[in-house]
Structure 1
Amino acid sequence: METSKIQTLHPEKGKTNKIIDRDKYEIIKETILKILQNSEPTHSELVKTVTDKLNTSFNKNVSWYTMTVKLDLEARKIIERTKSKPQKYRLKKPANHNI
């Protein structure tokens, strides 16, 4: 049985992102969105928190998938970077997104 895939997007014009398994995408996406419901982490904090939450249950490179999905969520305008130094991430739209 073939696994469903998703073409992820990149927030920078002209750049393409990866095609990944939809089930892995959904796990990472939901984890990121849950984290951002209650906090505005820096890049490092976001990756560390996702890794800490999924490291034992996710059988792939959590940080790589986190980066890929984070960029996709930025491109889809679901999350955004703040203008602060250091930059932080936050939800841009309500958290019930269907992709």
Structure 2
Amino acid sequence: MGKRDEEQIQLLHPKGETAGKILTRRYEAIRKAILEEVDANGEISFTDLTERAPKRISHFDGKTTWYITAVKLDLEARGELERFEREGEQWLRRPNK
């Protein structure tokens, strides 16, 4: 199976805007890295997330900041992450359920 045949996931956007599709394997790797960082810290700034999450991915062939941003927005839309502001900076945490 070539790269063109690989399964893709439709990304969601918290504002209902059109989002792209990415390879499912990339989505799962980025999702795991993001959630591990959030869980390890409780709350994390987006700046710290974009610095730390790539270190949790063993191999990645793409621009990690773009993927982290896209998957973070998808996780917000799916209710797995909650965005909030602190001192003018974007922070993330798991929502209380």
**Class of the TM-score when normalised by the shorter of the 2 chains:** 0.7 to 0.9
Kindly tell me the number of residue pairs found equivalent between the two proteins: 92
Q: Which runs of 5+ in 1 are unaligned?
A: 95-99
User: TM-score, normalising length from structure 1?
Assistant: 0.83
RMSD of aligned alpha carbons: 1.7
In structure 2, what is the equivalent of residue 60 of structure 1? 62
More strand by share: 2
Matches within 5 A, 1:18-57: 18-39=20-41, 40-54=43-57, 57=59
User: TM-score, normalising length from structure 2?
Assistant: 0.84
Aligned-residue offset at 1:82: 2.4
Which runs of at least 4 in structure 1 moved beyond 2 Å after TM superposition?
51-54, 82-87
Q: Which runs of 5+ in 2 are unaligned?
A: none
Alpha-carbon distance in 2 for matches of 1:34, 1:93:
17
Structure 1 stretch displaced more, 17-26 or 38-47: 38-47
Over the matched positions of the two proteins, sequence identity in percent amounts to 33
Alpha-carbon distance in 1 for matches of 2:93, 2:66:
20
